[in-house]
Amino acid sequence: MTCYEHTFIAKSDLTESKNEKLIEKYENIITKNQGKIIKTENWGLKNLSHKIKSNKKGFYFHIKFEGVGKTVEELEKEENIDETLFRFLTIKVKKHQLETNSIEKTSKK
């Protein structure tokens, strides 16, 4: 099993209940394909440093998981189709850092 970190950005016109559904959906895909979720983080709504596909803001979600190559393949295949997401990134890490939230959640105004 290899350790992976996955981040994806969703469009800013989502509601809270839809957010939770999004995370659940991708968690299910990971667990179905021989993966194991270790931690999920919600970084909240953030301003993008530059425009991406005419979006200025986005909801950030971060998943730390263990899995095999097929897990990542299926996950990214699903995300490519999804229209509510516009950017994602998967990287391999040697070891998970679990002490603190890497990026604090931005509070709502």
Helix, coil or strand: residue 70: helix
Site string for other proteins, 28-57 (x = CB under 8 A): --------------------xxx-x-----
The helix-helix angle for 16-32 and 69-81 (nearest 10°) equals: 140
Closest contact distance (angstroms) between CB of 32 and other proteins is 26
- Alpha-carbon distance of 77 to 23, in angstroms, equals 16
Which is closer to other proteins, CB of 15 or CB of 49? Answer: 49
Q: Enter the tokens of residue 86.
A: 């516009």
Q: Does 91 bind other proteins (CB under 8 A)?
A: yes
Q: How many angstroms separate the most distant Cα atoms in the chain?
A: 41
Question: Which one of 23, 82, 87, 96 is in contact with other proteins (CB under 8 A)?
Answer: 87
Helix, coil or strand: residue 11: strand
Which is closer to other proteins, CB of 28 or CB of 89? Answer: 89
Residues that bind other proteins in the complex, under the rule CB under 8 A: 7, 9, 48-50, 52, 58, 60, 87, 89, 91, 97, 102-103
